[in-house]
Structure 1
């Protein structure tokens, strides 16, 4: 009996001394549904660094490119629907894909939205040696001939990145269907295309430029935010202040499989909520070029589903869906 009591005490001690999230989440993983270097990679790095104190071991980041998130959402609706260890990065572009049916049969009701990483904004980006020194320079050529400039981004026609370009053209009553647009499988490929010269303008996100602007290889002509962003982007003019009614806010966050046990989902929510209250999280989000947006759990899940509903309405007005 004494041995049993000792064993029980040791077991209890191990449980008490274990990290708060170890029991349901023993192999934390963030899936970035694209190749390295783009916005999904950035989103997973925030989770990896921001939650490192919440788990017993380091979070793994894996890359699953294909269909700007289509391969990932299919995987988490077939073989990994109840995986308690994995979270998947998404953005407003993912929500748009759900809204217009780009993910086939999978939509907003087929995932459990978990938590946000922060918010971001669209950006009009060129190479450092581009002849376009300003947004006005670019728009002057587009107004003469929308097909005279090769533009591209990490998404196909109708995607979030295509919508950024389309909104900018529509601000001057230009037909987006006439623009030359090259679709890449993720922001990393699109940046490589810009630097390699296969496109002249990249419609990306402000946040993903943090690690690139210091190299001197690229310039942001305008941010698609309602007002100027804080440092290090405070010197970048907004499209709006330059006279173009073109804004595109971007939410970045994470979802899980729809059959994940409540206990595991709740532990992830606890982990994010614990991180949200720290200075380290705030600094990390800022350093990655994002603005704070701290939503988690059921509130966040409901908010994202409302966003998809709104996007569905906008897509119908734009003729992207019937």
Structure 2
């Protein structure tokens, strides 16, 4: 009888799903933003796909993600169950805020998604093409005003790179930073700025409605479903994506890193994740391991160079 019960218990235990780990993910921003949406999508999909039994998300907003990064770095050392979401905006924030904590203080795991930047003008604008806008920029850089997100963010960096690639001194650009996408959109639609810069998703409905004209997209090649040329096609040799990543705690073992990397690979290959990419309009730019670390180093170096060109970093 005892042998029967023991066999039954073992059989029951073996039939239970074997979850790799429970995770706590830091979203270093307020609820509702891109990093928060990324963290909560990971949470939902990991649990639904059986990758993890329990995933918690904690919001630690402030200073372009550097407050959450600092807290994560100091409180999670060696913790194989701790993760943080971040992205390209954080790279610029670390530099402009002169943050003592950088991405060297965490363990990068993978780039997950990317969103390409769009350059738009109101439908009534005299600028019909990107070439028209660049011509005006070359003639008088200060007369062309650009509306976008926070100073030193992806939008600002892109404008600096467009100026440099066009032979214009990046310190001469007239960039107007808005605290929220709604404010920037209102300014662009109201012709308070010459052009607007943001992730394509921020402008998609207005582009399709015909109230905004898409001049160019910052991808390397044209994107299915987006009717507009790339910057490179328009004669401006620039491409940039506002990517989002996942990183683990500092000081973890090789075994912990391998386990986390395996779970993230399962996540991005899952049907649930791929479905979320479609519904949210996120580009799948998954890149992991040494390839991601190499690309991250290149992005940090390029961002630092651009912010120095603009004059935001010495």
Whole-angstrom distance in 2 between the partners of 1:211 and 1:88: 31
Does the residue aligned with 1:78 lie in a helix, a strand or coil?
helix
Q: Could you tell me which runs of 5 or more consecutive residues in structure 1 were left unpaired when the two chains were aligned.
A: none
Relative to its length, the structure with more helix (as a share) is 2
Are 2:105 and 1:110 equivalent residues in the alignment? yes
Whole-angstrom distance in 1 between the partners of 2:213 and 2:31: 22
Query: Where do residues 50-69 of structure 1 align in structure 2 (5 Å cutoff)?
Result: 50-51=45-46, 52-55=48-51, 59=55, 61-69=57-65
Q: Please give the per-residue CA displacement for 1:286-306, whole angstroms capped at 9, x wherever unaligned.
A: 55444433333x435633553
Quote how far apart the aligned CAs of 1:164 are: 0.3
Residues 182 and 101 of structure 1, relative CA distance in 2, 3 Å threshold:
closer
Does the residue aligned with 1:69 lie in a helix, a strand or coil?
helix
Whole-angstrom distance in 2 between the partners of 1:209 and 1:260: 41
Residues 303 and 82 of structure 1, relative CA distance in 2, 3 Å threshold:
same
Residues 82 and 179 of structure 1, relative CA distance in 2, 3 Å threshold:
same
Partner of 1:268: 260
Quote how far apart the aligned CAs of 1:68 are: 1.5
Does the residue aligned with 2:237 lie in a helix, a strand or coil?
coil
TM-score w.r.t. length of structure 1? 0.74
Residues 265 and 221 of structure 1, relative CA distance in 2, 3 Å threshold:
same
Quote how far apart the aligned CAs of 1:193 are: 1.7
Are 2:189 and 1:196 equivalent residues in the alignment? no
Whole-angstrom distance in 1 between the partners of 2:246 and 2:161: 26
Are 2:148 and 1:148 equivalent residues in the alignment? no
Quote how far apart the aligned CAs of 1:110 are: 0.1
TM-score w.r.t. length of structure 2? 0.76
2:27 touches 2:86 (CA, 8 Å); kept in 1? no
Q: More displaced, 6-15 or 109-118?
A: 6-15
Quote how far apart the aligned CAs of 1:105 are: 1.5
Q: Please give the per-residue CA displacement for 1:69-110, whole angstroms capped at 9, x wherever unaligned.
A: 211211212334455544322223333455x46452112320
Whole-angstrom distance in 1 between the partners of 2:256 and 2:99: 28
1:32 touches 1:44 (CA, 8 Å); kept in 2? no
Quote how far apart the aligned CAs of 1:64 are: 3.6
Aligned mate of 1:75, from 48, 52, 71: 71
Whole-angstrom distance in 2 between the partners of 1:217 and 1:19: 52
Quote how far apart the aligned CAs of 1:179 are: 2.3
Aligned mate of 1:307, from 298, 304, 307: 298
Whole-angstrom distance in 2 between the partners of 1:54 and 1:90: 24
1:222 touches 1:236 (CA, 8 Å); kept in 2? yes
Partner of 1:20: 19
Whole-angstrom distance in 1 between the partners of 2:106 and 2:277: 24
Whole-angstrom distance in 2 between the partners of 1:46 and 1:106: 26
2:26 touches 2:57 (CA, 8 Å); kept in 1? yes
Does the residue aligned with 2:287 lie in a helix, a strand or coil?
coil
How many residues matched?
308
Whole-angstrom distance in 1 between the partners of 2:212 and 2:31: 20
Query: Where do residues 127-138 of structure 1 align in structure 2 (5 Å cutoff)?
Result: 132-138=127-133
Quote how far apart the aligned CAs of 1:307 are: 2.5
1:31 touches 1:87 (CA, 8 Å); kept in 2? no
Quote how far apart the aligned CAs of 1:111 are: 0.7
Quote how far apart the aligned CAs of 1:49 are: 5.1
Whole-angstrom distance in 2 between the partners of 1:123 and 1:55: 35
Partner of 1:174: 168
Partner of 1:232: 225
RMSD across aligned C-alpha pairs, in angstroms? 3.9
Partner of 1:246: 238
Quote how far apart the aligned CAs of 1:47 are: 2.6
Q: More displaced, 137-146 or 160-169?
A: 137-146
Quote how far apart the aligned CAs of 1:48 are: 4.1
Aligned mate of 1:256, from 248, 270, 286: 248
